[in-house]
């Protein structure tokens, strides 16, 4: 079975190299019994990979069970995964099979594996090593022969450092790693996916297909897509239902793209020329370039007002390019850095000097995460369910983060 056949069978759209590599790896590993760990951001389509592995594997005629570990409360997750016996806890009125028992001989897909409690991680490790497990409230050891495929959108190695995930379990799951690329890195695939979704929704709602003009297509491709394919599908559905004009322009599209301007700062300088500079220096350089151009414009207008005629702008531009330019950030100036820039020099050898204080923005990922959680909770007036959906995480993860950052 080749990559193209797998795409057609599971409705996967796109020709991105990373995507093709992930599908090819899944096809190659399918006939084996190796465990697989799929990584990638939320909404990139990780659920397609275990389906490919099961469909092309030796156990394809047996059960395929998909479990979202992040959606199961911590108090009941052992019962859900391994089952329980009658009377093992309040409400256990009858014996129940767990997912591992149901999937015996087949494949089990554990999504959001990073959300598993540490105690449950130890039991999962035992299944990986010996195929053994014990139901909640029982002392009888049971056996299962199941293919385990796991997925996560969190940095497991970082979770290991913080003591949230077992290192031995990580290496057992990560026998074959597969990484799914984010939508923003898939370029032309974005247009293909939009056309596919718009066609599907046109058939579903019995209305004409929506189309984007050239500017709207460029915006669609440049957008950051924090929610990846899932977000693109939702936005396409919204446009298909709400817009009467089936030819969508850039202004209309922007109404459906949250925080577009925040993700796309204007290009004020030649990016290739300054790729080697640190980000802060590049921004400061851009600010001073703008100031120098403003000063040159002021000089031009002043000359015109004084009746000296229109000066030679090309000559002034050359003076600016050839002038003494120096960009330096004073060392050891945290949290602020004083910057001096000498730029455009006029024919009278005048010198423009400016001093700017640049606040050092916090680069702490935890602070950023804490800030985003606060904003989401404020936006939804403390309703954690909707805040979690907005953040693209499970409610259980949000509860844990609120407790961790003391945001109650």
Same domain, 132 and 218: no
41 lies in which domain range?
3-181
Same domain (yes/no): 319, 289:
yes
Residue 191's domain is classified under what CATH number?
A: 1.10.8.60
Are 177 and 192 in the same domain?
A: no
> Are 217 and 316 in the same domain?
no
- Kindly write down the DSSP assignment for every residue of 195-244, as one continuous string: HHHHHHHHHHHT-PPPEE-HHHHHHHHHS--TTHHHHHHHHHHHHHHH-S
- Residues 87-122 have pLDDT tens digits of 888 888 999 999 999 999 999 999 999 999 999 999
Q: Which of 224, 244, 263 is the last residue of a domain?
A: 263
Domain boundary among 181, 213, 237: 181
Q: Please tell me the distance from the alpha carbon of residue 369 to that of residue 46, in angstroms, as a whole number.
A: 23
Are residues 113 and 73 part of one domain? yes
Same domain, 198 and 78: no
What is the number of domains present in the chain?
4
Same domain, 37 and 135: yes
If asked whether residues 254 and 282 sit together in one domain, one would say no
Task: Tell me how far CA of residue 208 lies from CA of 97, 211, 213, 257, 325, in angstroms.
Answer: 48, 9, 16, 22, 57
pLDDT in tens, 116-164: 999 999 999 999 999 999 999 999 999 999 999 999 999 999 999 999 9
- Domain shared by 256 and 339, yes or no: no
* Confidence at 281, pLDDT banded by 50, 70, 90: low
Overall average pLDDT of the 335-341 stretch: 41
What does the mean pLDDT of the chain come to? Answer: 81
Using alpha carbons, select from 221, 219, 223, 225 the residue that is nearest to residue 188.
221
- DSSP summary character for residue 182: P
132 shares its domain with 200: no
Q: Which residue has the higher pLDDT, 298 or 344?
A: 298
- Are residues 390 and 351 part of one domain? no
Q: How far is CA 320 from the centre of its chain?
A: 42
Number of residues written out for the chain: 408
Q: What is the CATH number of the domain that holds 131?
A: 3.40.50.300
Strand residue runs (E) in 235-297 = 247-248
Give 204-227 pLDDT, tens digit per residue.
999 999 999 999 999 999 999 999
Check residue 342 and give its pLDDT: 42
pLDDT grade, residue 405 (50/70/90)? confident
Q: Is residue 329's pLDDT more than 60? A: no
Q: Are 32 and 100 members of one domain?
A: yes
Contact, 118 vs 166, CB < 8 A?
yes
pLDDT at 178: 97
For residue 235, pLDDT over 70 is answered with yes
Give the residue from 142, 157, 181 where a domain finishes.
Answer: 181
């Amino acid at each position: 079975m080749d990559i193209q056949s797998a795409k057609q069978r599971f409705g996967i759209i796109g020709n991105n190299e990373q995507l093709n590599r992930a599908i090819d790896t899944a096809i190659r590993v399918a006939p084996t019994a190796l465990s697989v760990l799929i990584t990638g951001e939320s909404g990139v389509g990780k659920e397609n990979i275990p389906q490919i592995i099961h469909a092309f594997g030796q156990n394809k005629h047996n059960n395929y069970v998909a479990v979202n570990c992040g959606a199961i409360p911590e108090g009941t997750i052992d019962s859900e995964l391994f089952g329980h016996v009658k009377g093992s806890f309040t409400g256990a009125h009858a014996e129940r099979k767990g997912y591992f028992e149901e999937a015996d001989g087949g494949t089990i897909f554990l999504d959001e594996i990073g959300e598993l409690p540490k105690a449950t991680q130890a039991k999962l490790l035992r299944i990986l090593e010996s195929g053994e497990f014990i139901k909640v409230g029982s002392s009888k050891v049971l056996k299962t022969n199941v293919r385990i495929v796991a997925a996560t959108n969190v940095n497991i190695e970082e979770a290991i450092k913080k003591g949230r995930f077992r290192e031995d379990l990580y290496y057992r799951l990560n026998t074959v790693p597969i990484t799914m690329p984010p939508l923003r890195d898939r370029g032309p695939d974005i247009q293909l996916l939009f056309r596919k979704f718009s066609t599907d929704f046109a058939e579903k709602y019995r209305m004409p297909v929506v189309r984007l003009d050239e500017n709207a297509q460029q915006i669609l491709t440049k957008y950051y897509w924090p929610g990846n394919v899932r977000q693109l599908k939702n936005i396409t559905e919204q446009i298909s239902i709400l817009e009467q004009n089936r030819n969508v322009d850039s202004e209309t599209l922007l109404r459906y793209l949250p925080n577009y301007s925040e993700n796309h700062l204007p290009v004020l300088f030649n990016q290739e020329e300054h790729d080697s500079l640190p980000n802060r220096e590049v921004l400061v350089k851009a600010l001073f370039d703008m100031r120098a151009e403003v000063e040159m414009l002021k000089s031009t207008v002043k000359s015109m007002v004084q009746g000296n005629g229109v000066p030679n702008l090309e000559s002034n531009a050359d003076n600016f390019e050839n002038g003494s330019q120096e960009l330096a950030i004073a060392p050891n100036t945290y949290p602020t850095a004083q910057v001096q820039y000498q730029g455009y020099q006029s024919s009278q050898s005048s010198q423009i000097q400016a001093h700017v204080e640049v606040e050092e923005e916090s680069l702490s990922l935890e602070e950023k995460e804490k800030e985003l959680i606060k904003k989401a909770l404020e936006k939804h007036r403390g309703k954690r369910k909707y805040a979690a959906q907005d953040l693209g995480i499970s409610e259980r993860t949000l509860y844990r983060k609120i407790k961790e950052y003391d945001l109650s």
